[in-house]
């Protein structure tokens, strides 16, 4: 999502407009708050934040599945480490 100039708000201004900004966010906007002219924090709808966290968890699961698949391919190809060598590498 891109931000318009109206979505970028100095944090000093946001203090006075928090209720208004919150209503805009619930209606679909995202607000980028700045401090000393640089991006500092964002205000996003709580439901979107939950969705973002679910996407993160899903991504982590997909990465783990990819790693498990790669490991199984290694085993099926006969490339494996003996138990003793594994313990030695871990110590």
pLDDT tens track for 59-72: 999 999 999 999 89
- Per the structure, the count of domains in the chain is 2
| Together in a domain, 9 and 23 | yes
pLDDT value of position 5: 67
| Domain carrying residue 34 | 5-44
| Together in a domain, 32 and 55 | no
Element (H, E) at 61: helix 46-76
Q: What is the pTM of this model?
A: 0.58
Supply angle C-alpha 40, 63, 80, rounded to 5: 140
CA distance 8 to 13: 10
| Together in a domain, 28 and 52 | no
């Amino acid at each position: 999502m891109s931000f318009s100039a109206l979505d970028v708000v100095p944090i000093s201004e946001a203090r006075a407009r928090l209720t208004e900004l919150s209503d805009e966010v619930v209606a679909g906007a995202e607000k980028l708050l700045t401090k000393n002219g640089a991006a500092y924090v964002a205000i996003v709808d709580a439901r979107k934040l939950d969705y973002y966290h679910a996407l993160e968890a899903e991504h982590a699961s997909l990465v783990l599945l990819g790693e498990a698949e790669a490991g199984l391919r290694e085993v099926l190809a006969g490339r494996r480490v003996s138990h003793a060598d594994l313990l030695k590498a871990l110590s």
